[in-house]
Amino acid sequence: MKAIVKRRTLRKNLFWSFALIVILIAGLYLLLFFGRDYKSSKTRYLKDWERLVSQIASQTDDYFTSMNNITVQLVYSNIIYESLAAANADTNSSNFFDDNSQIKKNCSLIMSAYSSITNQASRVSIFGIRGDYCSVGSSRRNLRTSDILQLDILKASDEKGGALCIRGPFPDPLSENRNDGRYIYSASRIMKYGYASYGYVEVQQPYEALHRICSVSPDMQVFVYDDSGNMLYPLRNPAQNSSEQDLLRLQNVKQHLTHADSCLIKADDEILGGAKLKNNLILVAAEKQSVLYSNLYQVRNTTVFFTLIVCFLCILIVYSVSGYTAQSVEKLTSAVKKINFQDYTLPISPEECTTDETRQLAEATGHMLQKLKQFATLTSEAQARELQATIAALQSQINPHFMNNTLAAISSSAMESGNMNVVYMCSHLSRMLLYTLDGEQEATLDSEVEYTRHYLELMRYRYGGGLKYDIEIPPAILSVRIPRLILQPLVENCIYHGFDCDRELRVIQIKGEQKDRTWTVRVIDNGCGFSREALQKITADQEKIRGLLDSGRSSFMRSEELGVLNTFSRLYIRQKEHTVFEIHSSTAGATVIIGGQIHD
């Protein structure tokens, strides 16, 4: 009776001790912003970051839009048009605007008026098609008209055809101090009257102005790209390409901007922000989550630290109380160490335990040993069956190298006797054996088609003129990787099952096709087609195979499945939901379509 009372007292002590731990942890959790408050704090941080990205995007858009507005206004200026027309008509090799001060003054006034709207343009320039030029803004060096025509900005404007061309950052090619470490952005357009070009307009703005906009946060990385994926910001070494990480960021943002003007993406340990800008520009912002949430993480870590300290103190209390069970636990532990795995029995009776908890543990251990005994028996039987299957497989295996050497000997003998048909048949069969020797699970579609072609050539020796085949595969999909030996079984199925009815000429067509990112191959015959019962059975087996593969129970599949189901099974393992597998049948023949997604 005393033992029973002791067990009940222990249970009560443990209960209240653990209850105290739960209460303390729950109190700390609610007190220190875990749960709802912690999530709302992260949301606030994220919204503030998103607003900052939107602000940077808006200012960046204004930066480039102001340049575009100046170019558009100059393109439609009559004074600029008339001046450039006069310059183009002048045959003098010197700069037309240097020789005609009044025209130069008029153009300079127009360009100054437009550039003063933003007060950011460092230089505004116009160029004639013969190299004549006029500019306002920062001081420039004198260039020959022939040098002007070689400027990259004019060549790039020609390629754009009249659309805005934004380039940079780079040193100003017209500046007297082009090696002073200052960089500029250039927005230029070709000026046309109808279909005829009469000049160019260029607006320059300093790189530092955009840098001030995009560097408001020291922890945020900001990138600006044009429509060709060229990085406009930040400044990079001309010989240095965009890193793989930068390209992945741009690709990720582009996908999300397909149907929206801005996006916010959580990628790995990074937050990405994106925005469509005018003039086909894209802004990408990135910041590490660990940096963005650093203050919040510090609060979380501090909370966890103090929670662990309190839990440790509570565990010490529970440990002192659990001394009551030490003797019973040690006795049970000693018994477990003495378990005999010949008969799977526990050397101690549950009734010998001094507490309810250890008694229940002893009973559970006894049940577990019985389960282990059953499992060991089943495992032993399974291993025996597996060993028998392995022995049977080894006994039935034929050495492909031996077969290949034997075929070579037969071919040599046939050649000596002048029987070239046998030589050719041995050649085709030898190549098929060599293909099967490769231990790879996959092959290119080109290799698979070639293997099937050798098989069809062998069948032509059997059927003579009664078999005709045609293979049309686009070169673009010949390099697609597919499971090995999935095409030939379909052709073999046509020959041995599709032509059960009388056909004076057996025709097999193999046609490939690519549509977007999907490849397909059609195997078409003019045989009897599939019966309704056969089609229903194939469809049912397909669903069964798909269910087994999706649930991870592939070991329940029958390994002896051949033909179309074998092809479907191995194709589905690789392609999953992208698998293309269709059967169309009529009295005029059957068509089996296989395919899948093209992987990079």
3-class DSSP state for residue 204?
strand
Distance CA 80, CA 114 (A): 12
Provide the CATH topology of domain 77-214.
Beta-Lactamase (3.30.450)
Report the distance separating Cα 3 and Cα 152, nearest Å.
97
Give one word for 161, left, alpha or beta, with left for phi > 0 and alpha for psi -120 to 50.
left
Q: Which two tokens stand for residue 271?
A: 């937050």
- The C-alpha R_g of the chain, in whole angstroms, comes to 40
Determine if the peptide bond prior to 347 is cis (ω within 30°).
Answer: no
CATH superfamily name and code, 469-552+561-597 = Histidine kinase-like ATPase, C-terminal domain (3.30.565.10)
Tokens of 78: 């009559």
Tokens describing residue 358: 């250890």
The full length of the chain comes to 600
The reported pLDDT for the residue numbered 366 is: 72
What is the Cα–Cα distance from 558 to 548, expressed in whole angstroms?
11
- Output the six-digit token pair for 430: 């030898």
Q: Measure the CA–CA gap between 209 and 62, rounded to whole angstroms.
A: 11
Tell me, yes or no, if the two domains 77-214 and 469-552+561-597 fold the same way: no
Enter the tokens of residue 116. Answer: 């003063």
Of 42, 24, 49, nearest to 297 by C-alpha is: 42
What is the H or E stretch that residue 519 is in? strand 518-525
* Sequence spans of domains, the chain: 77-214, 341-395, 469-552+561-597
Report yes or no on whether pTM surpasses 0.75.
no
Residue 433 pairs with which residues in a beta bridge?
Answer: none
Q: Under a CB-based contact definition with an 8 Å cutoff, are residues 98 and 104 in contact?
A: yes
Quote the CA–CA distance of 362 and 56 in Å, as a whole number: 67
Q: Do 538 and 583 meet the contact criterion of CB atoms below 8 Å apart? A: yes
Residue 14's φ and ψ, nearest 5 degrees, are -65, -40
Q: In terms of C-beta density within 10 A (0-12 exposed, 13-18 middle, 19 or more buried), how is residue 426 classed?
A: buried
Q: Give every CB contact of residue 301 below 8 A, 6+ residues apart in sequence.
A: none
- Tens-digit pLDDT string for the chain (600 aa): 444 444 445 556 666 776 677 677 767 766 665 667 778 888 898 999 999 999 999 999 999 999 999 999 999 999 999 999 999 998 888 889 989 999 999 999 999 888 887 677 888 999 999 989 999 987 777 778 888 888 888 888 888 888 899 998 988 877 776 666 789 999 999 998 878 889 999 999 999 999 999 998 889 999 999 988 889 999 876 655 668 888 889 899 999 998 899 999 987 789 999 999 998 999 999 999 889 888 887 877 777 777 777 777 776 666 665 665 556 666 667 666 667 666 667 667 777 666 676 777 777 777 777 777 666 665 565 455 444 544 444 344 445 555 666 666 676 666 667 777 777 777 787 788 778 777 677 889 999 999 999 888 888 888 878 889 999 999 999 999 988 888 988 998 888 887 777 777 889 999 999 998 999 999 999 888 888 888 888 888 888 888 877 776 554 455 444 568 888 888 888 888 888 999 998 878 899 999 999 876
